[in-house]
Structure 1
């Protein structure tokens, strides 16, 4: 009997989520009392918050995104077929592969959740860097990190038709 395939997306999701929470905990020790929390197009801060306010926001953002994607990952194997929308949906059903589609959807949710955790780590790190820089400006790496994250994320989304091509048969 073949072993079931392991899904690498789950440990990556758990790992990136733990790192996102660790970044917030580390920020609690590194942030000054006054924290830049909003930045204009030039990267300069245009709004500030207290350390407690910034940490509350970062904690709620991280916890909320984690709960959202963990909940969606739990729901995907249980989702009713009528809620699934993908190319060639009828073909997947004719082949009796609805559970395979649900497995792929769960994997996509976990990868997306991991990407969001990485984004949260970058945001937390950028806020800490800006607050500690003395200039209240986003660091130069923040824009590069965002562009790389966006290109990878959009590329993954654009590959959806390839990942959901029904098998021949």
Structure 2
């Protein structure tokens, strides 16, 4: 491969991204079940900018909005046919026209799906950490401020790395 050729995706990378998304969803579901069994009836449902709880609700209410988001987003991001059925004009990614003009729609969507599955998986893991933080507060343990922001930082780093990888792989040869 020369430097002017695009960086092609290995089938393993696409499969690994799907496995990552599925495992992340399963970890989230397992944590939600643990939360349902172990959490007190009233839990912190909102945290201020310093990471301290400033609103409380029932654990059923908290799971009632967290579970659909924690499962729904990664599942939605992982189903390829949904994205392939959208009008291509709605998909806004760099260098899209270059690949479509060359008849490389499959490669384009391979790259997009790897990115979407990684972001979906990290979203599930971010919401898993939210459940753990809520549980700690519910049990009376406070989280150090740094630990409150760590999951968000990891989410942002992984998402940024995935975006950089997407752009790198879609960049046309020079």
Q: TM-score range by the shorter chain?
A: 0.7 to 0.9
Structure 2, gaps ≥5 residues long: 1-9
Query: Cα distance 1:84–1:129, how it changes in 2: closer, same or farther (>3 A)?
Result: same
Task: Say whether 1:118 aligns with 2:125.
Answer: yes
CA distance in structure 2 between the partners assigned to 1:78 and 1:57 by the alignment: 28
- Where in structure 1 do 4 or more consecutive aligned residues deviate above 6 Å? none
User: How far does residue 103 in structure 1 lie from its aligned partner after superposition?
Assistant: 1.4
Alignment partner, residue 162 of structure 1: 168
SS at 1:35 equivalent: strand
Equivalent residue in structure 2 for 1:92, among 74, 92, 99: 99
Count of residues paired in the alignment:
162
Query: Cα distance 1:88–1:151, how it changes in 2: closer, same or farther (>3 A)?
Result: closer
Identify the structure with bigger relative contact order (alpha carbons < 8 Å, sequence gap 6+): 2
CA distance in structure 2 between the partners assigned to 1:15 and 1:89 by the alignment: 30
Equivalent residue in structure 2 for 1:13, among 9, 13, 21: 21
SS at 2:11 equivalent: coil
Tell me the TM-score normalized by structure 1: 0.81
CA distance in structure 1 between the partners assigned to 2:161 and 2:11 by the alignment: 24
Query: Cα distance 1:139–1:49, how it changes in 2: closer, same or farther (>3 A)?
Result: farther
Note if contact 1:23-1:124 (Cα within 8 Å) is conserved in structure 2: yes
Note if contact 2:78-2:113 (Cα within 8 Å) is conserved in structure 1: no
SS at 2:121 equivalent: helix
Q: What are the residue-to-residue correspondences of 1:18-37 with 2, within 5 Å? A: 18-37=26-45
Across the aligned residues of Structure 1 and Structure 2, the Cα RMSD in angstroms comes to 2.3
Tell me the TM-score normalized by structure 2: 0.79
Query: Cα distance 1:151–1:107, how it changes in 2: closer, same or farther (>3 A)?
Result: closer
Stretch of structure 1 that moved more, 81-90 or 104-113: 81-90
Note if contact 2:122-2:158 (Cα within 8 Å) is conserved in structure 1: no
User: How far does residue 165 in structure 1 lie from its aligned partner after superposition?
Assistant: 1.2
Structure 1, gaps ≥5 residues long: none
